[in-house]
Amino acid sequence: MANKKLITGIWSKNEITILKKMFCNIATKELAKKLNRKSKSVEAKASQLGLKKTGKYLKKMGMRK
């Protein structure tokens, strides 16, 4: 299987829509793979947009009681 080149730079409207819909309830690493971007890039864009993981997701991951 050929490696896809990671996307860098400007985010498309479609990517931002996907990020807004999925970020709160999916692992950042998994979402980065879907968007073909680095995890740090996804984290940075989510932070810029004010997105946060849900309490339910954090609890599931063992990060909250």
Both tokens assigned to 39: 């995890």
Question: Are 53 and 19 contacting, i.e. CB atoms less than 8 angstroms apart?
Answer: no
Q: Cβ neighbours of residue 28 under 8 Å, at least 6 residues apart?
A: 39, 42, 43, 46
Provide mean pLDDT across the span 15-37: 96
Q: Residue 2's pLDDT is what? A: 55
Q: With a cut of 80, say whether residue 7 has pLDDT above it.
A: no
Provide mean pLDDT across the span 7-14: 87
What pLDDT band is residue 12 in, cutting at 50, 70 and 90?
Answer: very high
Q: With a cut of 60, say whether residue 56 has pLDDT above it.
A: yes
**51 Ramachandran zone, left/alpha/beta (phi>0; psi -120 to 50):** beta
Q: Residue 55's pLDDT is what? A: 86
